[in-house]
Amino acid sequence: MWTLRQRALALFLGWHCLAVLGSLAADTAPGAAIRRLTAPYERLLGVYQNWNMFAPNPPAITEWMEVEDTPRGGGAPVVHPGPHGPPSAAPVVFGYRRAGKFERTVMKPNEKALRRAIIDARCARAAAAGAPLARVRFLRVSRPTGAPPSAPLTRAEVHRRPCPP
Protein backbone atom coordinates (compact mmCIF):
# COMPACT_ATOMS: atom_id res chain seq x y z
CA MET A 1 0.00 0.00 0.00
CA TRP A 2 1.29 3.45 -0.89
CA THR A 3 2.01 5.74 2.03
CA LEU A 4 1.89 9.52 1.64
CA ARG A 5 5.69 9.68 1.79
CA GLN A 6 6.03 7.03 -0.90
CA ARG A 7 3.61 8.92 -3.14
CA ALA A 8 5.64 12.10 -2.64
CA LEU A 9 8.90 10.30 -3.43
CA ALA A 10 7.46 8.67 -6.56
CA LEU A 11 6.17 12.07 -7.70
CA PHE A 12 9.59 13.61 -7.14
CA LEU A 13 11.25 10.80 -9.09
CA GLY A 14 8.76 11.35 -11.91
CA TRP A 15 9.61 15.05 -11.92
CA HIS A 16 13.33 14.29 -11.92
CA CYS A 17 12.88 11.89 -14.86
CA LEU A 18 10.95 14.59 -16.72
CA ALA A 19 13.87 16.98 -16.15
CA VAL A 20 16.31 14.34 -17.41
CA LEU A 21 14.21 13.81 -20.51
CA GLY A 22 13.94 17.55 -21.22
CA SER A 23 17.65 18.00 -20.68
CA LEU A 24 18.65 15.19 -23.03
CA ALA A 25 16.21 16.33 -25.71
CA ALA A 26 16.86 20.06 -25.23
CA ASP A 27 17.45 20.54 -28.98
CA THR A 28 13.93 19.37 -29.86
CA ALA A 29 10.70 21.38 -29.50
CA PRO A 30 9.17 19.08 -26.83
CA GLY A 31 12.49 18.97 -24.99
CA ALA A 32 12.74 22.77 -25.00
CA ALA A 33 9.16 23.04 -23.70
CA ILE A 34 9.93 20.65 -20.84
CA ARG A 35 13.15 22.51 -20.04
CA ARG A 36 11.29 25.80 -19.64
CA LEU A 37 9.55 24.06 -16.75
CA THR A 38 12.41 22.04 -15.30
CA ALA A 39 15.51 24.21 -15.89
CA PRO A 40 15.17 26.07 -12.56
CA TYR A 41 15.12 22.74 -10.71
CA GLU A 42 18.17 21.47 -12.64
CA ARG A 43 20.11 24.68 -12.04
CA LEU A 44 19.18 24.89 -8.37
CA LEU A 45 20.45 21.39 -7.59
CA GLY A 46 23.12 21.32 -10.30
CA VAL A 47 21.70 18.09 -11.73
CA TYR A 48 21.40 19.00 -15.41
CA GLN A 49 22.27 16.19 -17.79
CA ASN A 50 25.06 16.57 -20.28
CA TRP A 51 27.08 13.48 -21.03
CA ASN A 52 29.23 14.48 -23.99
CA MET A 53 32.57 13.28 -22.62
CA PHE A 54 34.82 12.87 -25.67
CA ALA A 55 31.65 13.14 -27.77
CA PRO A 56 30.76 13.59 -30.52
CA ASN A 57 34.58 13.59 -31.02
CA PRO A 58 37.57 13.87 -28.67
CA PRO A 59 39.38 17.21 -29.11
CA ALA A 60 41.88 17.15 -31.98
CA ILE A 61 44.17 19.69 -30.30
CA THR A 62 45.90 20.14 -26.97
CA GLU A 63 45.11 23.71 -25.97
CA TRP A 64 45.79 26.25 -23.28
CA MET A 65 45.27 29.96 -22.79
CA GLU A 66 47.50 33.03 -22.72
CA VAL A 67 46.48 36.49 -21.60
CA GLU A 68 48.00 39.53 -23.29
CA ASP A 69 47.84 42.80 -21.35
CA THR A 70 48.50 46.06 -23.25
CA PRO A 71 49.44 48.88 -20.86
CA ARG A 72 47.60 52.18 -21.13
CA GLY A 73 49.78 54.99 -22.38
CA GLY A 74 52.04 52.88 -24.60
CA GLY A 75 54.42 50.08 -23.90
CA ALA A 76 54.74 46.62 -25.35
CA PRO A 77 52.01 44.06 -24.65
CA VAL A 78 52.87 41.60 -21.88
CA VAL A 79 51.83 37.97 -22.25
CA HIS A 80 50.90 35.98 -19.14
CA PRO A 81 49.94 32.31 -18.82
CA GLY A 82 46.31 31.53 -18.10
CA PRO A 83 45.26 29.99 -14.79
CA HIS A 84 46.63 26.62 -15.86
CA GLY A 85 49.17 27.34 -18.57
CA PRO A 86 50.86 24.78 -20.83
CA PRO A 87 50.25 21.13 -19.88
CA SER A 88 52.91 19.69 -17.63
CA ALA A 89 55.48 17.40 -19.26
CA ALA A 90 55.88 15.47 -16.01
CA PRO A 91 53.66 12.49 -15.19
CA VAL A 92 50.72 13.35 -12.95
CA VAL A 93 49.92 10.27 -10.91
CA PHE A 94 47.37 11.91 -8.63
CA GLY A 95 45.51 15.17 -8.70
CA TYR A 96 43.34 17.03 -11.12
CA ARG A 97 43.77 20.72 -11.84
CA ARG A 98 40.45 22.45 -12.35
CA ALA A 99 42.22 25.47 -13.81
CA GLY A 100 42.74 23.44 -16.99
CA LYS A 101 39.04 22.71 -17.31
CA PHE A 102 38.30 26.36 -16.51
CA GLU A 103 40.64 27.54 -19.29
CA ARG A 104 39.06 25.23 -21.84
CA THR A 105 35.60 26.50 -20.85
CA VAL A 106 36.69 30.14 -21.10
CA MET A 107 37.84 29.55 -24.70
CA LYS A 108 34.53 28.00 -25.81
CA PRO A 109 32.70 30.08 -28.41
CA ASN A 110 29.54 30.38 -26.29
CA GLU A 111 31.33 31.84 -23.23
CA LYS A 112 31.62 35.45 -24.43
CA ALA A 113 29.97 36.86 -21.32
CA LEU A 114 32.41 35.02 -19.07
CA ARG A 115 35.41 36.30 -21.05
CA ARG A 116 34.08 39.87 -20.88
CA ALA A 117 33.61 39.57 -17.11
CA ILE A 118 37.13 38.17 -16.60
CA ILE A 119 38.66 40.97 -18.67
CA ASP A 120 36.65 43.66 -16.86
CA ALA A 121 37.79 42.29 -13.50
CA ARG A 122 41.40 42.15 -14.76
CA CYS A 123 41.21 45.76 -15.96
CA ALA A 124 39.75 46.92 -12.65
CA ARG A 125 42.47 45.16 -10.64
CA ALA A 126 45.24 46.60 -12.82
CA ALA A 127 43.79 50.11 -12.49
CA ALA A 128 43.51 49.70 -8.72
CA ALA A 129 47.16 48.62 -8.62
CA GLY A 130 48.18 51.80 -10.44
CA ALA A 131 49.11 50.10 -13.72
CA PRO A 132 46.01 50.62 -15.89
CA LEU A 133 45.57 48.58 -19.03
CA ALA A 134 44.38 49.71 -22.44
CA ARG A 135 43.35 46.31 -23.70
CA VAL A 136 43.31 42.61 -22.80
CA ARG A 137 43.44 39.73 -25.29
CA PHE A 138 42.88 36.03 -24.72
CA LEU A 139 44.87 33.74 -26.99
CA ARG A 140 44.40 30.03 -27.63
CA VAL A 141 47.73 28.25 -27.87
CA SER A 142 47.49 24.78 -29.36
CA ARG A 143 49.26 21.91 -31.01
CA PRO A 144 47.65 18.97 -32.81
CA THR A 145 46.96 15.91 -30.71
CA GLY A 146 49.76 13.39 -31.05
CA ALA A 147 52.32 15.98 -32.12
CA PRO A 148 55.62 15.91 -30.17
CA PRO A 149 56.22 18.61 -27.53
CA SER A 150 58.72 20.26 -29.90
CA ALA A 151 56.04 20.76 -32.59
CA PRO A 152 55.33 24.39 -33.53
CA LEU A 153 52.48 25.98 -31.60
CA THR A 154 49.53 27.80 -33.12
CA ARG A 155 48.32 31.02 -31.48
CA ALA A 156 44.86 32.37 -32.25
CA GLU A 157 42.93 35.24 -30.70
CA VAL A 158 39.89 34.10 -28.76
CA HIS A 159 38.74 37.46 -27.39
CA ARG A 160 39.88 41.06 -27.35
CA ARG A 161 38.36 43.81 -25.20
CA PRO A 162 39.41 47.34 -24.40
CA CYS A 163 39.52 48.30 -20.76
CA PRO A 164 37.06 51.01 -19.70
CA PRO A 165 38.71 54.43 -19.40
Partner 1 sequence: MSPAAGLHRLLFTPVDARSLGLMRILLGLLLIANHVELWAELHPMLGRAGWAPLAAAQAEPHRASHYDVVPDGPALHLVHGAGLLVLVAFTLGWRTRWVAWAALAVQVAIHHRNPWMQHGGDRVLRLATLALCLVPAGAALSLDARAGRGAPTVPALAHRMVQLQWMIIYGATGAEKLLGRTWRDGSALLLALGNGDFQRFPHRLDPLLALPAVRALAAGATWATLAWELAFPLLVLHPRTRRPALLAGLVVHGGIWLTMRVGAFTPAILWGYLAFLPAGALGAWAAARSPAWLRPPAAGYAPAPPEVPR
Which residues would be at the binding site for partner 1 (CB under 8 A)? Answer: 2, 6, 9-10, 12-13, 16-17, 20, 24, 39-40, 43-60, 62-64, 83, 87-93, 95-102, 104-106, 111, 113-114, 117-118, 120-121, 125, 143, 145-146, 148-149
Residues 6+ apart with CB under 8 A from 151: 143, 144
Nearest Cα to Cα of residue 120 among 164, 157, 55, 85: 164
**Cβ closest to partner 1, residue 75 vs residue 125:** 125
**CB 38 within 8 Å of CB 25:** no
**Cβ closest to partner 1, residue 72 vs residue 122:** 122
Burial class (CB in 10 A: 0-12, 13-18, 19+), 110: exposed
Question: Is the torsion defined by CA of 159, 163, 164, 165 positive or negative?
Answer: negative
Kindly state the smallest distance separating residue 51's Cβ from partner 1, in Å: 4
Kindly state the smallest distance separating residue 80's Cβ from partner 1, in Å: 12
Kindly state the smallest distance separating residue 71's Cβ from partner 1, in Å: 20
Kindly state the smallest distance separating residue 68's Cβ from partner 1, in Å: 16
**Cβ closest to partner 1, residue 76 vs residue 110:** 110
**Cβ closest to partner 1, residue 74 vs residue 91:** 91
Angstrom distances, CA of residue 41 to CA of 18, 23, 38, 127, 153:
11, 11, 5, 40, 43
